[in-house]
Amino acid sequence: MSIVARIDKQAAGLQRHLGRFDFRSRWFSVGRSLICFAELTVVLLTPAKALLIPVLTITEGARCDGVRSASAFCVVGNSGAEWARWLLVAVLLVAAGGYRPRWTVLPQLWAVYSIAVSISVPDGGESVALIMSLLMLPICLADDRKWHWRSPDKPLRLNGRAIAFAAFWAIRIQLAYLYLDTAISKFGVADWANGTAEYYFLRDNMFGISEPLDGLFLELSKIPVVVVGMTWGALVVELIIAVCLLGSDRWRKVALVFDVLLHGMIIVTMGLWSFALVMIGCAVVAATPASVAPHTEEPGELHGGKPELARSPAELGTS
């Protein structure tokens, strides 16, 4: 088979896939809402004074240099930081509720950006939420439903499908790279390489295990085979997630199961609720199956042209 023929075959396969592709399902809705809810907990449960506390060389108040000046905390000024916090609460609450994805995705991105660039001590969850909100932008712009929980009542336009399809793969590749890089980089750290990292994490003054499971985990971590299993097990799970995210619908669901197990354990042992919920939400979005579109496109529409006119029997060469 010639190269041109192979390209034509692949293009035809992609065209058929796009004809069936429709992301508007509960999978994407749950994933997006989880990410918004995770960021909502940051601003809802923490007063502005604590979010913008001085740390090392960071002075009190929001950092507003350069592009950070677009943050909600900078727009209202330090004197209105508490008002900015409640504005972000309102934006994220509406976005998490699923109302008008096309119109709430930009405010969602702005809210997540404001949190990521302005608060004094952001964690990895804020950065991931920002990147994923940006990658979800073209997907939500193609979604004209009133609520993202509703089933679609009309098909997506071809250009909307193509852009959303590309954005989903960008999300999967980004998330897979994140887990792959996280796992590989840990092999260069002595405590991770020799299998003792979890022993020290559980006893860390800031992120260590807390009640009521502290006694159980601290005792288990004194058993060499258990602590090595916990440490290396986390690395193996991260590698499994990275590989499975790039597979078929079935394998992406496997990645989601391992992701929930991994971050569920992080919640149990270290807390970090918002970080864990962001990562689980991203995995749900990435695992969104390519469902069959609710309506079939008109003939010829998948080719970007007008619907073909029905031909007469004479034109078809039949009687």
pLDDT band of residue 60 (cuts 50, 70, 90) is low
Portion of the chain with pLDDT greater than 90, in percent: 51
245 pLDDT exceeds 90? yes
149 pLDDT exceeds 60? yes
Interatomic CA distance for residues 319 and 312, integer angstroms: 10
The answer to whether 289 touches 229, Cβ cutoff 8 Å, is: no
Residues 290-307 have pLDDT tens digits of 765 554 444 344 444 444
Token look-up 């058993």 returns 223
Residues 247-288 have pLDDT tens digits of 988 999 999 999 999 999 888 888 889 999 999 999 999 999
With CA atoms as reference, report the closest residue to 280 among 19, 9, 34, 83. Answer: 34
93 pLDDT exceeds 90? yes
* pLDDT mean over 15-38: 86
Interatomic CA distance for residues 146 and 254, integer angstroms: 31
Interatomic CA distance for residues 101 and 106, integer angstroms: 9
Residues 160-207 have pLDDT tens digits of 888 898 999 999 999 999 999 999 999 889 999 999 998 888 888 777
Report long-range pairs for 169-172 (Cβ below 8 Å, ≥24 apart): 170/135, 171/132, 171/135, 171/136, 171/282, 171/285, 171/286, 172/245, 172/246, 172/252, 172/286
